[in-house]
Amino acid sequence: MDLSVIIPIKDERDNLQPLYGKLLAALEPLDLEFELVFVDDGSTDGSYHVLADLAQRDRRVKVVRLMRNFGQTPALRAGIDWSRGKLIVTMDGDLQNDPADIPRLLDKLREGYDAVLGLRARRQDNFLLRKLPSLVANWIIRKVTGVPIKDLGCTLRVLTRPLAEALPLYGEMHRFIPVLAQQAGAKLAQIPVKHHPRIAGKTKYNLSRTIRVVLDLMTVKFLHQYLTRPMHVMGVAGLATLGLGFLALAATIYMKWGHGIDMTGNPFLLLSAILSLGALHFFSLGLIGEVLTRTYFESQGKPAYTVQATLNFDAEPRREAA
């Protein structure tokens, strides 16, 4: 199999048939053996029945139906695990990505890159709810990680299979695929791609996504830079907390000798200690939990999803469930 196009979908019934037609129009002239892997991530609008009909008519259409809605990252991981192509194309199923851009991505990949990412030109989304938060999030991620990719949220991309299989995809890490790819040593490129307004279905994104991006960014930064030396980050936090403790102690002593305020009855020191220790514990537990999550999924080879049914697959996935 030369190429696998992986499309996670959630309640995209009215978009599936037009998307299938556009994919065939883009891929059939390429003279490649390809498959279209749709991952139904717990749709409730009848999307699976549309996919089942497509799979019955065309064996190049492969369907992975998950037991419930696990999220875009586990759905993407399921598509990679069940696909067979030497090259992996990922895209959304809402028709905002244009399949006609896939040949251009493949041509760029042949120049020696491990992954080629789309850059949404003239993005057709609401400015305040989608574009502005995305611009802010992309700027923060570039500054923190050093990844020069301008549009990290574009889901239209092509990757080599070794790179796709090496990506630690769990939780909501699909947003950081360019960062994870660069951390793995991949050679990346980004080219402009078309972006269309949504004409059917409802968007699954809201402003809370920006908050989750910032929290996930802390995880990515920690796992990349401090996973093998956590004391560097924990030690800095500990020293900062210790410094605050000394300042609070000095303030308490000053208040005692300068103003006669009783040290043991002064809540300032106690409050400072509680807040500092509480913050340190919360961040420490969060980071330790992320390390344990990565260990859980990677050391056991256990996927972050459960498959209910599949169509047109002749073999088990490359990654076996534990």
Find out whether 28 and 58 touch, Cβ atoms under 8 Å.
Answer: no
For Cα atoms 15, 213, 7, give the angle at the middle one, nearest 5 degrees: 25
Q: What is the dihedral of CA 276, 277, 279, 280, to 10 degrees?
A: 110
Query: At residue 90, does pLDDT exceed 70?
Result: yes
Strand order in the sheet with 188-193: 188-193, 115-120, 157-160, 87-90, 3-9, 34-40, 61-66, 307-311
Nearest by Cα to 6 from 44, 62, 46: 62
Nearest-angstrom CA–CA distance, 55 and 38: 10
pLDDT tens digit sequence for 234-267: 767 777 877 887 788 788 888 878 777 777 777 7
Residue 166 makes CB contacts below 8 A (sequence gap 6+) with 184
Strand bridging mode 307-311 / 61-66: antiparallel
The Cβ of residue 15 has, within 10 Å, a number of other Cβ atoms equal to 21
Query: At residue 72, does pLDDT exceed 50?
Result: yes
Query: At residue 289, does pLDDT exceed 60?
Result: yes
Nearest-angstrom CA–CA distance, 291 and 286: 9
pLDDT tens digit sequence for 39-64: 999 999 999 999 999 999 999 999 99
- The average pLDDT across 217-236 equals 70
Residue 195 makes CB contacts below 8 A (sequence gap 6+) with 96, 97, 98, 120, 121, 122, 123, 124, 125
Q: 176 or 286: which carries more pLDDT confidence?
A: 176
pLDDT tens digit sequence for 201-217: 676 665 566 677 777 78
Find out whether 138 and 98 touch, Cβ atoms under 8 Å.
Answer: no
Q: What is the DSSP letter of 113?
A: -
The pLDDT of residue 76 is 95
The pLDDT of residue 288 is 81
Nearest by Cα to 273 from 298, 252, 254, 304: 252
Query: At residue 140, does pLDDT exceed 60?
Result: yes
The pLDDT of residue 321 is 43
Burial class of residue 255 in the structure, from the number of CB atoms within 10 Å of its CB (0-12 exposed, 13-18 middle, 19+ buried):
middle
> What band does 322 get if pLDDT is binned at 50, 70 and 90?
very low
Q: Which of 20-24, 142-146, 313-317 has the highest mean pLDDT?
A: 20-24
Where are any strands of DSSP class E within 147-187?
Answer: 157-160
This prediction's pTM: 0.74
Query: At residue 133, does pLDDT exceed 90?
Result: no
For Cα atoms 275, 279, 285, give the angle at the middle one, nearest 5 degrees: 145
Q: Which amino acid is at 26?
A: A
Residue 130 makes CB contacts below 8 A (sequence gap 6+) with 123, 203, 205
- The average pLDDT across 67-72 equals 91
